[in-house]
Amino acid sequence: MKGKAWKFGDDVDTDIIIPGRYLVLRDEKELAACVMEGCDPEFSKKVKKGDIIVAGKNFGCGSSREHAPIAIKGAGISAVVAESFARIFYRNSINIGLPLIEVKEISQHISEGDIVDINIDEGILKDLNSNEEFEIKPLPDFMLGIMEEGGLINFLKNHLEEIKDG
Amino acid sequence: MAMTMAEKILAKASGNNESEAGEIIMANIDVAMTHDLTGPLSVESFEKIGLKQVWDPEKIVIVFDHQVPADSIDAANNHMLMRKFVKEQGINNFYDVREGVCHQVLPEKGHVVPGEVVVGTDSHTCTHGALGAFATGIGSTDMAMVFATGKLWFKVPETIKFEITGKLQENVFAKDVVLDIIGKIGADGATYKACEFGGETTRNMSISDRMVLCNMAIEMGGKTGLVEPDQKTINYLRGRSTKHYEIMKTDSDAKSLETMFVDVNELEPQIACPHNVDNVKPVSEVEGTHIDQVFLGSCTNGRLSDLRTAARIMKGKEVSKDIRMLVIPASREVYTKAMDEGLLRTFVDSGALVCNPCCGPCLGGHIGLVGPGEVSLSTSNRNFKGRQGSPDAEVYLSSAAVAAASAITGTITDPR
């Protein structure tokens, strides 16, 4: 994955990602049109397919609304890189196949607009502007399995009987 | 092996004798709750799996509370979709627009008992831990897995136990205690941990107050809130639930247990200032701050005890002409009791609006929104930017006592 970085701060909450008044919507594209409206109403117009969000700690804190990762994915964001993620947002994102990349102190090192190259298999994130490389915290095996099968729905389709019996 | 309450519940739910923090387990789910706002996505995800029938309709509870009554055609459509699902799946535990907020309705109707695993597509599902259940918020796709299989995977959490001691001063409440804790440890201070509340102060608290503590566990990143069940828990459940249950308690020598001591003897009323729940100050530091709206309600502080506290402060007085106040009882049961006790009369006489049981302005997508530059003082649980309407509005969070005292003066006021 390679894309342009959009920078956000610490504690980006789910109301910033997708405000409550839009939760009546379910369509990915409609949700994407309002993504990050809580802090930048123009964000959905500026973002391009493949771009990457880079943020500080506790990204996605707050609500369990799956509308949040759906809106981010729908806007074409290929991955969210942050120093840490809130728990429910983390699960929801992996479940819908939105890659989350955890890297220590990353927001101090990447500038807005930098081109970021992420290699999940090698566990390396590279800033192509500064040529700095960073180590990615690996996903637990179980979650990696869900990610690799394209999200939890596909995973369930493939493993329904074992899960039911197990 | 010495275990925490969270480890014991998850061990039992996964059919094991033991479980240990960090381990990934597949748990059998006892209660799966969804509501009108996140329910439609859960149903859509379930349908994508391609199954016709949910695993067990008796273990699913559906509550309409976020947008009731429907305030838009989109909301009405979501309600219709959920009613159709309820009918098709034969779900009996369905509470349409008339009952109130899910985190009040589930305990009231006896769906939550100690030792069980409760999941809900709402982050404040952690509230139910006040009765000793392992209760946690999940997303819609996770709920689709539960609908399909009755199971969900969890990483067994470590436990942070807040040992709360001391006597609360007059007009200082559970909300002040939990805001104080969140202010100290931060919005991610308990990420992925079970937040267990103990100590003499917790034991002296009512079930309602314990629900306030557990409700706010998610605001410090917690996976669940928990209180060890005792006689008060048993009394609360009597007449509400016929389910068999097992009481589990944390062993003091459990390996994954970390303890934080909290002394509340000197605690003043607290307030979370914009725009983060961990931006907590004593109310005395922000006294006199202008407000435009007061919201008394929500799954945090919309219970009978909150309404009693507010009515005691407001009786015979008038809500400041410069502001408006919304009172939203958390459930029909709370509403009718408040009616019988004359509390609603006090609110209406004072100029407050009493609305039907629902989430109200808390989700920023239904009634009582605030405009650009306006300030809301709310007894709910989140003050994120844009949470109650305009992203240019500000939200403060407090107890019912602070909210009531402030509604009279029209500025943030210490109730003492």
Q: Does A83 touch chain B (CB under 8 A)?
A: no
Contacts with A22 from chain B: Cβ below 8 Å: 365
**pLDDT grade, residue A71 (50/70/90)?**
very high
B223, A90 Cβ separation under 8 angstroms: no
- pLDDT of B279-288, one tens digit each? 999 999 999 9
Residue B255's nearest CA partner among B190, B158, B133, B132 is: B158
B330, B298 Cβ separation under 8 angstroms: yes
Predicted pLDDT of residue B342: 98
Phi, psi of A107 (to 5 degrees): -70, -20
For residue A68, give both structure tokens. Answer: 């949040």
User: ipTM of the assembly?
Assistant: 0.94
Give helix then strand counts, H and E, for chain B.
15, 18
- Does the beta-carbon distance from A16 to B384 stay under 8 Å? yes
> Which residue of chain B is at minimal alpha-carbon distance from A95?
B141
**pLDDT grade, residue A38 (50/70/90)?**
confident
Predicted pLDDT of residue B49: 94
DSSP letter for B134, please. Answer: E
Predicted pLDDT of residue A3: 97
Chain B closest CA to A98's CA: distance in Å?
13
> Which secondary-structure segment (H or E) carries B383?
none
- Residues contacting residue B234 through CB under 8 Å, at least 6 positions apart: none
B5-158+223-244 and B270-409: identical CATH topology = yes
**pLDDT grade, residue A84 (50/70/90)?**
very high
Contacts with B223 from chain A: Cβ below 8 Å: 87
- pLDDT of B290-334, one tens digit each? 999 999 999 999 999 999 999 999 999 999 999 999 999 999 999
- Which of B45, B188, B299, B378 to substitute to test the interface with A, most A CBs within 10 Å? B188
Instruction: Please report, for chain B, the start and end positions of each structural domain, with discontinuous segments joined by +.
Output: 5-158+223-244, 270-409
Contacts with B384 from chain A: Cβ below 8 Å: 13-16, 38, 62
CA distances from B228 to A7, B189, B195 (A): 43, 22, 11
Chain A closest CA to B334's CA: distance in Å?
25
Contacts with A62 from chain B: Cβ below 8 Å: 123, 218, 382, 384
Chain A closest CA to B221's CA: distance in Å?
7
- Chain A and chain B share a number of CB contacts under 8 A equal to 144
> Which secondary-structure segment (H or E) carries B162?
strand B159-165
Structural domains present in chain A:
2-138 (3.20.19.10)
- Does the beta-carbon distance from A95 to B386 stay under 8 Å? no
Predicted pLDDT of residue B236: 98
Q: Which residues of chain B have pLDDT under 70?
A: none
CA distances from A161 to A120, B42, B53, B149 (A): 30, 21, 15, 9
- pLDDT of A42-60, one tens digit each? 999 999 999 999 999 999 9
For residue B308, give both structure tokens. Answer: 């009693």
Partnered with residue B370 across adjacent β-strands are: B389
- Residues contacting residue A33 through CB under 8 Å, at least 6 positions apart: A44
Output the CATH code of domain B270-409: 3.30.499.10
Residue A164 CA to residue B4 CA, distance in Å, equals: 28
Predicted pLDDT of residue B358: 97
CA distances from A59 to A80, B29, B184 (A): 9, 28, 20
The 10 Å Cβ neighbour count of residue B332 is 17
- Residues contacting residue B377 through CB under 8 Å, at least 6 positions apart: B291, B293, B294, B295, B395, B396, B398, B402, B403, B406, B407, B412
Residue B159's nearest CA partner among B134, B180, B122 is: B134
Residue B414 CA to residue A88 CA, distance in Å, equals: 35
> Which residue of chain A is at minimal alpha-carbon distance from B72?
A24
**pLDDT grade, residue A89 (50/70/90)?**
very high
B174, B267 Cβ separation under 8 angstroms: no
A142, A155 Cβ separation under 8 angstroms: no
- Does the beta-carbon distance from B138 to A63 stay under 8 Å? no
Chain B closest CA to A50's CA: distance in Å?
24
pTM for the full predicted model: 0.96
Residue B6 CA to residue B132 CA, distance in Å, equals: 9
The 10 Å Cβ neighbour count of residue B307 is 29
Q: Is the pLDDT of residue A166 over 80?
A: no
Predicted pLDDT of residue A139: 85
Predicted pLDDT of residue B365: 87
- Which of B141, B151, B191 to substitute to test the interface with A, most A CBs within 10 Å? B141
- Of B123, B141, B365, nearest to A62 by CB-CB distance is B123
Chain B closest CA to A49's CA: distance in Å?
24
Q: At what angle do helices B332-340 and B304-314 cross, to 10 degrees?
A: 40
Fold for B5-158+223-244, please state it. Answer: Aconitase; domain 3 (3.30.499)
Q: Does A11 touch chain B (CB under 8 A)?
A: yes
